[in-house]
Amino acid sequence: MVEKKGRFRSKPKGMTSAPRRRNVSQLQGGVGLLTQQASQMSNNLFIARRSSGLISGSLEDRQSGRNLVRLSNPRISQIKNDRLYHLGLDTTNTNMPSRFGDIKFVVIGESAGQMEEFARLLAKDISQSKENNVENLARGGNSPYAMYKVEDVLILSHSLGAPSISILLNELIKLMHHAHCNSMTFIRIGQSGGVGVRPGTVIVSEQVFDAQLRNSHEVVVMGKPQLWPTKLNGQLAKDLIDMNMPANDGFEAIAGHTMSTNDFYEGQFRLDGAFADYNEVDKQVFLSQLVEKGIRNIEMESTAFAAITHKANIRSAIVCVTNLNRLNGDTITATKEQLDVWDRRPQKLVSRFIQQNLNIPSSTTKVNFSPNSKTTQ
């Protein structure tokens, strides 16, 4: 029979198709083989990504389900001496795994002085030593940041606004990657403006919105905007709220959404800045929309923090105290002494959480906020 283009040959006469039969054991064996092959391919892919600088940790870490730092820049592995310029560190002169490989918690906040004080207080409570001396590890490159290490905790200042915190997080995440850290927790602490809550209330963020009320952080790359999702760890937020003991602490920690803006005045629709092309009615209408949306505080770093930590596969949370109620005004009128007291409230919750997770003995579980430490609640 002549074969025609696009058609199959006809079968020779007398030839029949025998039914294909496989017993159950053969099928199960095939499935098992495919599963092993898929697992091996997955492991090979992981090893390739690890060697190319896309992901940190070991294969054992991955198989045990540990949280690994995730990068999306394969060029990192090709840099012979990766300089973390703003932290004053590099991979040639610093043994990253030896110096930072034990880090489990990273706590960052705006003020260098505030974070140094937190480091000293934490050192008293979790360090094996009686001393609370801490050293600023970010000294090179005219660093705008301060960095302290207390046992398994890294404490840093991030300065003001999203651009500053994004620079810090970028280099900090690379540091964690080079140190082969895994199962880390990042927590941001700081001040914020409250929305419909009493000043001094601590807000643990559930969701983060930008100034356009989007759950995203806008990053402009080569003239084109990208929207990175702002995701936080819900269970971590609940665990931090559970650290609050209102009757003993003298304050309340609540869950709420956070709005993050690009500046302090127009972006936060204040009427006490140099410019205000809107009025009190406009402001109150917008504030009411925020209240309906569940937004309980406003600040300037959370979208960047939530988006970048999520992109790096790091579980994170935001704990901020409110320094005024924006429904009642725009100007912060609390005294410096009162603001200092409020500043230490997020520190108290985070310190308790860290001590609990590091299994600190009960005799040292109480955070030292005594009058002698100048941190009276």
Please tell me the distance from the alpha carbon of residue 185 to that of residue 309, in angstroms, as a whole number.
10
Q: Which residues pair with 203 in a beta bridge?
A: 254, 320
Cα–Cα distance for residue pair 369/121, rounded to 1 Å: 8
C-alpha separations of 238 from 205, 242, 300, 327, 362 in Å? 10, 6, 23, 27, 22
For every residue of 109-178, DSSP letters joined together read: ES-HHHHHHHHHHHHHHH-SSS---------STT-S--EEEETTEEEEE--SSHHHHHHHHHHHHHHHHH
Q: 13 in a domain, yes or no?
A: no
Give a yes or no: residue 83 inside a domain: yes
CA distances from 205 to 69, 209, 238, 257, 290 (A): 22, 10, 10, 5, 14
pLDDT in tens, 291-305: 999 999 999 999 999
Name the residue with higher pLDDT: 66 or 262: 262
Q: Which domain holds residue 263?
A: 73-373
**28 inside domain:** no
User: Rg of the chain over CA atoms, in angstroms?
Assistant: 27
User: Is the residue at 3 inside a domain?
Assistant: no
Considering the domain boundaries, does residue 32 fall inside one?
Answer: no
CA distance 176 to 188: 17
Q: Beta strand pairing status for 224-229 and 147-150?
A: unpaired
In this structure, is residue 296 part of a structural domain? yes
Q: Which of 48-52, 206-210, 293-297, 353-357 has the lowest mean pLDDT?
A: 48-52
Question: 269 in a domain, yes or no?
Answer: yes
Q: Is residue 9 part of a domain?
A: no
Task: Pull the structure tokens for residue 335.
Answer: 């005294």
Judge contact between 341 and 377, C-beta under 8 A.
yes
**Domain with 217 in it: what CATH number?**
3.40.50.1580
User: Which pair of tokens denotes residue 125?
Assistant: 């409570």
CA dihedral 173, 176, 182, 185 (to 10 degrees): -60
pLDDT digits (tens, 9 = 90+) for 108-151: 999 898 999 999 989 988 876 555 678 898 876 567 899 999 99
Contact call for residues 138 and 145 (beta carbons, < 8 A):
yes
Mean pLDDT for 174-193 is: 95
Structural domain count of the chain: 1
Angle (CA) 330-207-168 rounded to 5° is: 80
Q: What is the model's pLDDT at position 126?
A: 81
Of the ranges 22-26, 202-206, 209-213, which one carries the lowest mean pLDDT score? 22-26
The DSSP string of 328-355 is S-SS--S-HHHHHHHHHHHHHHHHHHHH
Q: Write down the number of H helices and E strands in the chain.
A: 10, 12
How confident is the model over 44-87, as pLDDT tens digits?
A: 444 444 444 444 444 344 333 455 788 988 898 899 999 998 99
